[in-house]
Amino acid sequence: MNTNQEIGFRIRERRNELGLTLQEIADIIGVDRSTIQRYEQGLIKTIKLPVIQEIARALRVNPNWLIGKDVSKYPIDYSSLSELRPITLKKFPLLGEIACGKPIYANESHETYIDASSDIKADFCLIAKGDSMVGARIHDGDVVFIKEQPLVENGQIAAVIINNEVTLKRWYFYTEKQKLVLSPENTAYEPLVYIGEELNDIRCIGRAICFMSNL
């Protein structure tokens, strides 16, 4: 991985950790969405320090870490070291079971919640099962935070209902072929492929934006 690709990987990883879209980052720093996308893909030939500094500010990370230097990921605000600041937590409903293709979340009568940072822009969370996504650093028992949405972009990790069970896989949908490929992040497993009428039994319930390790 070259320097530009490493920068792109770190931008994408941190953006997903915060649950931000390419457009949201672009709006914060005042550039086009395509500019952020090219940085993430490592396609920028000349890295501009002012842009990197603005991206780092939007992602709340150290700009030197963003360009691959062996420094702390998070910037230190020395002016506030003398102040005590509370850690703000939020309760995220945990996905329970699936009934007739519909997810059942925690509610007032069934309190199963996960406390995590309020910075996470998610609607609910679930517990990962198995090792099919270890290549994406998601291990069995990890808590995965999901932003509820009926479709995701190709290559994103989606929470998908199949036969009243939820699975996490990378989503690739080909409109012209009416073909869906759900790809694992473990070479021990084959991709799941659905075509035509088989798609009627598949439902995307959201995009995975970050996880909390159980290790």
Residues with catalytic function: 132, 169
CA–CA gap between residue 22 and residue 103 (Å, rounded):
28
- Residue 13 class from Cβ within 10 Å (0-12 exposed, 13-18 middle, 19+ buried)? middle
3-state secondary structure the chain: CCHHHHHHHHHHHHHHHHCCCHHHHHHHHCCCHHHHHHHHCCCCCCCCHHHHHHHHHHHCCCHHHHCCCCCCCCCCCHHHCCCCCCCCEEEEEEEEEEECCEEEECECCECCEEEEECCCCCCEEEECCCCCCHHHCCCCCCEEEEEECCCCCCCCEEEEEECCEEEEEEEEEECCCCEEEEECCCCCCCCEEEEHHHHHHEEEEEEEEEEECCC
